[in-house]
Amino acid sequence: MTEPTEDQIREQIKQLKIDDVVVQTVVTLINLSGRRLTAEGEKDLDQGRKGIEAARALLPFCPEEQVEPIKEALSQLQMVYVRETQEPQAPEPPPKPDIWTPPGS
């Protein structure tokens, strides 16, 4: 495969739209944040949170037709973040029977 020429690169840059770059950036942030929040043994909650915040900050710059799917993905990601940052709760003890039973039975 040959390297693109300088003229080809310039032409590609001319065709780029800011909307496309913003959406791609938001998608990358969401995907990367998801990996940071769920990577077994390598979780990085701070990086996950930063990615969520950065994607939310860019949301107003996304094309209108892309906003709803991005909001849905962000919502799911935020739920993962909340789940991962909550302290594990101790399991509830089993309910005691209503019937008295003699000790040692």
- State pLDDT tens for residues 53-70: 999 999 999 999 999 999
- State pLDDT tens for residues 24-40: 999 999 999 999 999 88
- The pLDDT assigned to 90 comes to 61
Q: Tell me the pLDDT band of 99, cut-offs 50, 70 and 90.
A: confident
- The DSSP secondary structure of 25-61, one letter per residue, reads HHHHHHHHHHHHHH-TT---HHHHHHHHHHHHHHGGG
Q: Tell me the pLDDT band of 105, cut-offs 50, 70 and 90.
A: low
Half-sphere exposure (Cβ direction) of 39: Cα atoms closer than 13 Å? 13
Residues 18-24: contacts with CB under 8 Å, at least 24 apart = 18/61, 19/61, 19/62, 19/63, 22/58, 22/61, 22/62, 23/62, 23/63, 23/66, 23/70
Domain locations along the chain: 15-85
